[in-house]
């Protein structure tokens, strides 16, 4: 007999029925049901106990089969047992929303009268023997605290009032959606026999007469003032209206649905009539916008529960097109009845209603429409409900949302965010919004609709504005102790303060990933180890690996994304400290003993401990670091550049396009390497001036490292084949860490917290690739079976179940890799060794250049000189030839890259792409060519690989053409270079007498462009660069000719100072200068800026518009300007300031 699908079920049956969610073929037992935190259960009692329960809630039983607690059963069972226990008396069955929490399930009919389960569980579930009128065993639940129980009282008063007045039958039933999770029938059930019916009514009245509720539930119940303002329809009319609208309350599209499955167009009058019914409170009202409705359905929206009424338009069905604008409908009351009205009739009625109706057609399915009817914001009378319904032209069917029409690339479906989310982002600071988004990534496990959270960092950047002494070590030790008992939450594994600081941080997931991806013999990643600097008053050594399930969405850059494996924080770089790192890694993750390969930069203090503790692992050295070390030695020996280049090519080979002349590192086999090295030693001794010294140095310090850690045979064993190993992955991670920490020197505690957030962010990025929500990363084809449709994911209500769907990626085994077959042709001709490569899988073949070699990379760039073109072209293609030299930065939307530099040891450049402007930017502080001409080999290579060269060229051609040599000559020039150290003027005979009376600037055709008088020459010379000396809210007099050319308008009257570009005649060429806080308008709101210079006409009215207390006599007239004043100036100043000049 086949077993059921439920995990943990001990019963021998084919299908498992879950008593909480009602699934007849469940995959789970009830103790694991996602409904267990808000399940609807029944509790039966006598009518006499109803009043105290209503006032104080359910009380705990002191004893029972499962110990003390509050007992529940399924509602039908509670009704039967309650009637049996009360021996025919009237019975009240309370419907309760119960949070079972962590559930203990008893085996069979086992009892636990002592309640031992209460120590570790929130509730207990078991089977009760036949009893209380039941002939078969039945389920019962008991909870340990009244705080886990919520009595559902919605619709209680109205139902009870009808029962007491005799207008309802003996069993009064109200259909109602109660709580947030589960629909319920029979909010309260009143049972009695025929002959005892009147007595039951009297008993029930007596039970409630003492409560405050009696005045509102008695048969003399009167309408509330709110009800009097609405249209209180006849109950029969209400029922008829609901039937016409297909009333069938249910849960659909993650919210409460009024009706579903009935294809009909709903008239505005009928919808408004229902919205204005005072009894709407007993109907299922949706408090959350629907998610992916794909059926004929009607929703009554409770607008007060929505942050913004427009949130209902974000239903994740893709984009819609409005068929028309909102249409207005007006209604008034006429003799208590709802009547359609004209605009004039509505205006005359202060209690009239103004409703709008709008229709949209879904772009993803043209036969599907959405209609929204709601009260206008300016309606005289308000209503808190709106009417939303969806309808197909014919039969309902499922469909996939299409992408937005404005999307330029990709095929991701359009998902509209809530209007309230976008509005909130617009009011936030960008940095705070991004920080909050990263901290709240766990929301994805709890949200009902993905529209309720931002779609990603790109949306946040588009919408947002630019907007205590603690002992660190003690605090981290306390954090370590708290986490130690919870392995799944642990981040700090070790912390030591003496003899020197040492902190080891890694999560359980990181250990698991390092074991999966770095110890698998068939398919493994290099475990990179590198130390970074300038983080704080400590060193940070990061361990990295590549996630072999994922790939970058960029087809030409990088392979698998780089992940952070572990973090070590230490205060020295001694061999003992690095040995402690390797030992701690092996201690906390013993499975790493099977590590296949690790990579370092060549520091013996770092790699030797790993070699001792992981003897079976291969060691790879960074090609770039080794090249830099040898170049440095050649420079120290004073060798000529051409000879040094020949030696470098002998060791590392020479690449020309896609062809490579092999070097010593490309040899295979120990004997072959020895013979090749011997031939090279003879050659170097002959061509180098200090050849013997270099050969001795190379033999002693480099030969064994190249043979054991860089040779072709080693790279083949490490699955690199013809590719060399670089530490670009570690440098890329270092860049990510510095972006996470703000590139500022930090203290210990903030840094550890920042690293923990980074690890959590990477974990979320990995998980969200399964639902295609991580920018820049995607699953490899062989792991596509792990993917989960986003629609299916968001339909899952339980946070635990959502996490289970995504976290399976952390436990899946690594599939076997098809290894490249490398054939080495051993033809020893001088120092040249020919290498060819044949590859089994197409995906692993050597990459061709991403651009056609016949086309120039600089096509379209107009402002590049011919000599500079050749250098840029050669250097850019050299970077493109090796995929390891360009690495995509993880989690940056594929728009940020780390590019290796050959000019300096341990230097890497960050290149970013701006898709809006077309700019490809390299860091101007470290890259001289880019700082000079806005173009360099790093930016050019990334532009070619990403195929944005045309856009980059258009942007570059718009930039001003400047003389590159001038900028190169002044780059990082010492301040004051070329200036005299003293202000003493070299006086020459007759200098003061040879001043030209008129200075004229002419064009090439001889046309005068501007002129300046001798007085203006003197004034400009005397007043140049003096504005900064003006104190805020003090006033000084200036010549307009001495002010900067950008000064054009008066800050008081806002008129031009100059006429057709010429300074006015004296004395109108004087201006008043001060420094004030300049205000500006943004979104029609005044905003204060920084203190900056302001300029006014020499007129009191202009200045008084900014300073009402301005007094012209307070104006400062500088002594050095007095000699330039003409008689007209002096006369004006005496009248204006009252001062005699």
Q: Is the dihedral of CA 814, 819, 820, 823 positive or negative?
A: positive
pLDDT beyond 60 at 117: yes
Banded pLDDT at 967 (limits 50, 70, 90) = very low
* Closest of 512, 498, 608 to residue 565, by C-alpha: 512
- Average pLDDT for the chain: 75
Range from 54-58, 902-906, 915-919 that averages highest in pLDDT:
915-919
Taking only the tens place, the pLDDT of each residue in 1076-1093 is: 776 666 666 666 666 778
Phi, psi of 604 (to 5 degrees): -60, -35
Check whether 169 has a pLDDT greater than 50.
Answer: no
Confidence check: pLDDT of 824 > 70: no
The whole-number pLDDT of residue 391 equals: 92
CA–CA separation, 634 vs 649, rounded Å?
A: 13
Mean pLDDT of the 964-974 span: 40
Q: Which residues pair with 746 in a beta bridge?
A: 536
pLDDT at residue 299 in the model: 92
* Structure confidence at residue 235 as a pLDDT band (50, 70, 90): low
* Rounded CA separation 212/54 (Å): 10
Can you tell me the mean pLDDT for 64-84? 87
Q: Identify whether the C-beta of residue 311 lies closer than 8 Å to the C-beta of residue 419.
A: yes
Identify the residue with better confidence: 893 or 402. Answer: 402
**The pLDDT of residue 532:** 87
| Kind of pairing between the strands at 538-546 and 562-570 | antiparallel
Per-residue confidence at 1056, pLDDT binned at 50, 70, 90? confident
How much is the pLDDT for 778? 86
Q: How many angstroms separate the CA atoms of 822 and 835, rounded?
A: 8
Q: What confidence score (pLDDT) does residue 575 get?
A: 87
User: For residue 228, what is the enclosing H or E element?
Assistant: helix 225-229
Residue 216 has pLDDT above 90, yes or no: no
- Edge-to-edge strand list for the sheet holding 1070-1082: 1036-1039, 1070-1082, 1085-1097
Which of residues 207 and 1121 earns the better pLDDT score? 1121
Whether the bond into 1067 is cis, omega within 30 of 0:
yes
Q: In angstroms, rounded to a whole number, what is the distance separating the alpha carbons of residues 42 and 79?
A: 8
Range of lowest pLDDT (310-324, 986-1000, 1020-1034, 1127-1141)? 986-1000
φ/ψ of residue 662, rounded to 5: -70, 150
Question: Which phi and psi (to 5°) does residue 116 adopt?
Answer: -65, -20
Q: Is 347:241 a contact under the CB 8 Å cutoff?
A: no
499 preceded by a cis bond (ω within 30 of 0)? yes
User: If we measure between CA atoms, which residue out of 383, 245, 268, 276 comes closest to residue 329?
Assistant: 268
Contacts by 702-709 with C-beta closer than 8 Å and gap 24+?
702/626, 702/629, 702/630, 703/677, 705/602, 705/621, 705/626, 706/621, 706/626, 706/651, 706/664, 706/665, 707/670, 707/673, 708/619, 709/618, 709/619, 709/620, 709/621
Q: Give the pLDDT score at 483.
A: 81
Residues 604 and 867: their CA atoms lie apart, in Å, by: 42
Residue 751 has pLDDT above 60, yes or no: yes
pLDDT band for position 22 (cuts 50, 70, 90): confident
**Which stretches does DSSP call E strand in 1021-1139?**
1036-1039, 1070-1082, 1085-1097
Give which of 279, 274, 282 is closest to 388, Cα–Cα: 274
**Residue bearing the bigger pLDDT, 871 or 1022:** 871
pLDDT grade, residue 806 (50/70/90)?
A: confident
Residue 214's Cβ-count burial label (10 Å; 0-12, 13-18, 19+) is: middle
- pLDDT, greater one: 309 or 831: 309
The rounded percent of the chain whose pLDDT value lies above 90 is 11
Tell me the helices (H) and strands (E) count for the chain, helix number first. 35, 42
The answer on pLDDT for 845 being more than 60 is no
Q: Looking at residue 1022, what is its pLDDT?
A: 41
Nearest to 952 by CA among 850, 879, 855, 862: 862
User: pLDDT band for position 908 (50/70/90)?
Assistant: confident
Give the residue from 954, 869, 892, 893 showing the smallest Cα distance to 920. 954
User: How does DSSP classify residue 172?
Assistant: -
| C-alpha separations of 959 from 360, 861, 862, 869, 1039 in Å | 45, 11, 11, 17, 34
**DSSP codes joined into one string, 869-882:** HHHHHHHHHHHHH-
Please give the sequence-ordered ranges of beta strands (E in DSSP) within 99-218, or none if there are none: 103-105, 123-128, 138-143, 149-151, 175-178, 182-185, 188-191
CA distance linking residue 812 with residue 520, whole number of Å: 13
- pLDDT per position as a tens digit, 245-275: 777 788 888 888 888 888 888 888 888 888 8
Residues 6+ apart with CB under 8 A from 522: 814, 816, 817
975 near 911, Cβ under 8 Å? Answer: no
What is the distance of C-alpha 914 from the center of its chain? Answer: 19
Give the separation between CA 1057 and CA 1080, rounded to whole angstroms. Answer: 21
Q: What is the mean pLDDT of residues 837-864?
A: 50
Confidence of residue 1013 (pLDDT cuts 50, 70, 90): very low
pTM: 0.44
| Neighbouring residues of 282: CB distance < 8 A, sequence distance ≥ 6 | 154, 155, 158, 174, 175, 176
Confidence of residue 408 (pLDDT cuts 50, 70, 90): low
**Cβ neighbour number for residue 844 with a 10 Å cutoff:** 16
Q: What is the pLDDT of residue 237?
A: 64
pLDDT (tens digit, 9 = 90+) per residue, 599-630? 998 888 899 999 989 999 999 999 888 989 89
- In sequence order, what DSSP letters do the residues of 800-821 get, joined into one string? HHHHHHHGGGGTPPPPPP-PPE
Lowest mean pLDDT of 306-315, 568-577, 640-649, 845-854, name the range.
845-854
Give the largest CA-CA distance in the chain: 134
Give the burial class of 953: count Cβ atoms within 10 A of its Cβ; 0-12 exposed, 13-18 middle, 19 or more buried: buried
SS3 104: strand
Instruction: With a cut of 80, say whether residue 1011 has pLDDT above it.
Output: no
If one compares 645 and 667, the residue with the highest pLDDT of the two is 645
Lowest mean pLDDT among 184-188, 325-329, 1114-1118: 184-188
- Average pLDDT on 319-329 reads 89
Identify which of 197-206, 312-321, 449-458, 801-810 has the greatest average pLDDT: 312-321
Residue % of the chain over a pLDDT of 70:
75
Q: Residue 675: what pLDDT? A: 59
Other CB atoms within 10 Å distance of the CB of residue 108: 9
Q: Tell me the pLDDT tens digit for each residue of 516-571.
A: 999 988 889 999 999 988 888 888 999 999 999 998 776 444 578 899 999 999 98
- When pLDDT is averaged across residues 733-744 and rounded to a whole number, the result is 80
Average pLDDT over residues 334-361: 86
Using 50, 70 and 90 to split pLDDT, how confident is the model at 505? Answer: very high
Determine the pLDDT at residue 303: 87
Q: Specify the higher pLDDT residue, 833 or 399.
A: 399
Q: What is the predicted pLDDT for the residue at 999?
A: 35
Looking at the DSSP bridge assignments, the partners of residue 531 are 541
- Does 371 have pLDDT greater than 90? yes
Asked if residue 407 has pLDDT above 90, the reply is no
pLDDT (0 to 100) of residue 1104: 86
Q: Which of 1128, 1065, 1075 is nearest to 1106 (CA)?
A: 1075
Distance CA 256, CA 299 (A): 7
Whether the per-residue pLDDT at 146 is higher than 70: the answer is yes
> Are 308 and 423 within 8 A, CB to CB?
yes
pLDDT at 293: 92
Q: How confident is the model at residue 865 (pLDDT cuts 50, 70, 90)?
A: low
pLDDT of residue 841: 31
Q: What are phi and psi of 338, to 5 degrees?
A: -80, 130
CB count, 10 Å around CB of 474?
Answer: 11
Token pair recorded at residue 228: 């009097």
CB-based contacts of 75: which residues, under 8 Å, 6+ apart? 40, 41, 42, 93, 95, 185, 186
């Amino acid at each position: 007999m086949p077993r059921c699908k439920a995990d943990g079920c001990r019963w021998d049956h084919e299908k498992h029925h879950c008593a909480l969610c009602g699934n007849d073929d469940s995959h789970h037992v009830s103790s694991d049901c996602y409904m267990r935190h808000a399940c609807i259960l029944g509790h039966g009692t006598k009518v006499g106990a109803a009043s105290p329960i209503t006032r104080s809630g359910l009380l705990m039983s002191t004893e029972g089969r499962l110990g003390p607690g509050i007992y529940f059963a399924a509602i039908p069972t509670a009704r039967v047992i309650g009637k049996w226990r009360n021996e025919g008396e009237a019975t009240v069955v309370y419907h309760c929303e119960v949070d079972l929490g962590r559930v203990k399930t008893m085996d069979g009919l086992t009892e636990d009268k002592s309640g031992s389960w209460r120590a570790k569980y929130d509730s207990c579930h078991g089977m009760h023997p036949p009893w209380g009128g039941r002939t078969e065993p039945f389920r019962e639940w008991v909870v340990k605290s009244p705080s886990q129980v919520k009595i559902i009282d919605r619709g209680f008063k109205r139902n009870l009032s009808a029962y007491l007045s005799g207008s309802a039958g003996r069993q009064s039933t109200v259909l109602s959606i109660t709580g947030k999770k589960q629909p319920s029938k029979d909010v309260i059930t009143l049972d009695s026999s025929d002959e005892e019916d009147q007595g039951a009514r009297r008993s029930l009245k007596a039970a409630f007469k003492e409560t405050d509720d009696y005045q509102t539930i008695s048969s003399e119940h009167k309408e509330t003032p709110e009800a009097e303002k609405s249209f209180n329809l006849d109950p029969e009319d209400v029922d008829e209206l609901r039937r016409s609208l297909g009333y069938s309350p249910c849960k659909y599209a993650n919210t409460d649905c009024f009706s579903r499955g009935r294809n009909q167009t709903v008239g505005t009058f009928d919808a408004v009539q229902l919205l204005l019914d005072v009894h709407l409170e007993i109907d299922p009202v949706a408090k959350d916008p629907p998610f992916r409705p794909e059926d004929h359905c009607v929703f009554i929206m409770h607008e007060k529960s929505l942050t913004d009424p427009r949130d209902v338009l974000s239903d994740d069905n893709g984009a819609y097109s409005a068929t028309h604008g909102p249409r207005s409908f007006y209604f008034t009351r006429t003799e208590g009845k709802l009547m359609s009205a004209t605009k004039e009739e509505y205006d005359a009625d202060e209690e009239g209603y103004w409703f709008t109706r709008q229709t949209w057609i879904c772009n993803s399915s043209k036969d599907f429409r959405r209609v929204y009817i709601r009260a206008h914001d300016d309606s005289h009378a308000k209503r808190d409900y709106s009417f939303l319904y969806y309808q197909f032209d014919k039969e309902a069917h499922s469909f996939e949302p299409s992408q937005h029409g404005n999307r330029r690339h990709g095929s991701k479906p359009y998902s509209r965010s809530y209007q309230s989310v976008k509005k909130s982002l617009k009011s936030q600071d960008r940095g705070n919004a991004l920080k909050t988004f990263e901290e709240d990534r766990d929301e994805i496990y709890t949200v009902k609709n993905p529209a309720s959270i931002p779609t990603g960092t790109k949306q946040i950047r588009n919408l947002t504005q630019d907007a205590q002494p603690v002992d660190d070590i003690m605090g981290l030790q306390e954090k370590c102790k708290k986490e130690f008992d919870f392995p799944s939450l642990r981040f700090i594994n070790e912390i030591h303060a003496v003899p020197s600081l040492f902190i080891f941080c890694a999560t359980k997931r990181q250990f698991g990933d390092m074991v999966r991806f770095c110890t698998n013999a068939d398919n493994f990643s290099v475990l990179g180890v590198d130390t970074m600097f300038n983080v704080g008053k400590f060193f940070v050594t990061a361990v990295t690996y590549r996630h072999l399930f994922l790939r970058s969405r960029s087809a030409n850059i990088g392979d698998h994304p780089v992940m952070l494996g572990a973090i070590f924080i230490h205060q020295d770089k001694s061999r003992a400290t690095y040995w402690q790192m390797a030992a701690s890694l092996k201690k906390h993750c013993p499975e790493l003993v099977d590590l296949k390969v690790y990579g370092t930069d060549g520091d013996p203090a770092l790699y030797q401990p790993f070699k001792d503790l992981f003897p079976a692992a291969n060691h790879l050295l960074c090609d770039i670091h080794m090249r830099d070390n040898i170049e440095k030695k050649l420079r120290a020996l004073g060798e000529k550049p051409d000879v040094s280049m020949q030696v470098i090519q002998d060791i590392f080979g020479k690449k020309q396009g896609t062809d490579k002349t092999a070097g010593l590192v490309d040899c295979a086999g120990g004997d072959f390497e020895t013979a090749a090295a011997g031939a090279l030693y003879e050659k170097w001794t002959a061509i180098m001036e200090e050849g013997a010294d270099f050969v001795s140095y190379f033999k002693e310090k480099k030969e064994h490292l190249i043979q054991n850690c860089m040779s072709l045979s080693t790279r083949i064993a490490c699955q690199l084949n013809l590719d060399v190993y670089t530490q670009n992955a570690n440098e890329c991670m270092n860049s990510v860490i510095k972006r996470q920490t703000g590139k500022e020197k930090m203290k210990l505690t903030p840094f550890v917290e920042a690293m923990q957030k980074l690890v959590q962010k990477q974990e979320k990025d990995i998980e969200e690739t399964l639902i295609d929500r991580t920018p820049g990363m995607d699953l490899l084809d062989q792991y596509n079976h792990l993917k989960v449709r986003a629609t299916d994911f968001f339909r899952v209500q339980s946070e635990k179940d959502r996490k289970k769907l995504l976290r399976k990626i952390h436990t899946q085994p690594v599939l076997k890799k098809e290894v490249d077959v490398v054939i080495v042709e051993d033809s020893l001709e001088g120092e040249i060794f020919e290498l060819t490569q044949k590859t089994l899988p197409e995906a692993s073949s050597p990459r061709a250049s991403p651009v056609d070699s016949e086309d120039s990379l600089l096509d379209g760039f107009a402002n590049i000189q011919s000599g500079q073109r050749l250098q840029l072209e050669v250097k850019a293609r050299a970077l493109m030839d090796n995929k390891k030299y360009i690495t995509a930065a993880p989690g940056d939307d594929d728009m940020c890259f780390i590019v290796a530099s050959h000019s300096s040891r341990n230097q890497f450049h960050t290149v970013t792409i701006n898709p809006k402007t077309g700019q490809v930017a390299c860091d101007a502080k470290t890259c001289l060519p880019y700082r000079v001409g806005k173009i360099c080999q790093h930016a050019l290579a990334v532009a070619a690989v990403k195929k944005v060269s045309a856009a980059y060229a258009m942007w570059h051609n718009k930039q001003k053409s400047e003389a590159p040599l001038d900028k190169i000559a002044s780059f990082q020039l010492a301040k004051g270079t070329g200036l005299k150290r003293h202000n003493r003027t070299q006086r020459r005979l007759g200098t003061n007498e040879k001043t030209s009376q008129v200075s004229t600037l002419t064009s090439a055709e001889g046309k005068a462009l501007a002129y300046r008088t001798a007085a203006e020459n003197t004034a400009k010379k005397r007043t140049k660069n003096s504005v900064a000396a003006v104190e805020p809210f003090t006033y000084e007099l200036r010549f307009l000719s001495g002010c900067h050319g950008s000064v054009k308008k008066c800050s008081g009257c806002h008129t031009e100072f100059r006429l057709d570009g010429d300074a006015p005649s004296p004395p109108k060429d004087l201006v008043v200068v001060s420094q004030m806080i300049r205000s500006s308008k943004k979104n029609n709101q005044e905003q204060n800026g920084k203190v900056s210079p302001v300029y006014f006409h020499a007129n009191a009215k202009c200045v008084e518009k900014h300073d009402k207390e301005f007094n012209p006599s307070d104006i400062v007239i500088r002594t050095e300007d007095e000699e330039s004043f003409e008689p007209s100036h002096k006369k004006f100043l005496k009248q204006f300031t009252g001062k005699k000049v």
